[in-house]
A = this chain, B = another copy of it.
């Protein structure tokens, strides 16, 4: 069972809302909405996805990583975490 299990419903709701926002973008394109207005909406979907990613990272550290450190074998988890953080922060 993974970190996000405790917030599975919340996570699912966020992802469904993001799916709706992406469909909204298709509608905007279809209806020839002004470029900058579509771009504003693209930025807000990106922000919502970043928040989902941050929530996953958070739950992962609080549970999976913490528990493996407590069991005395956190090294691989910490290694994996730090490359995930690097990719997540766009490096």
Contact = CB atoms under 8 A, between A and B. Distances in A.
Interface of A: 1-5, 8, 11-12, 15-16, 18-19, 22-23, 25-26, 29-30, 32-36, 38-40, 42-43, 45-47, 49-54, 56-62, 64, 66, 69-70, 74, 78, 80-82, 84-91
A16 to B, nearest CB: 7
A19 B23 CA distance: 7
Contacts of A12: 26, 29-30
Contacts of A89: 50, 54, 85, 88-90
Contact of A62 (B4, B66, B78): B78
Which residue among A22, A32, A90 has the maximum number of chain B CB atoms within 10 Å of its CB?
A22
Contacts of A81: 36, 61
A22 to B, nearest CB: 5
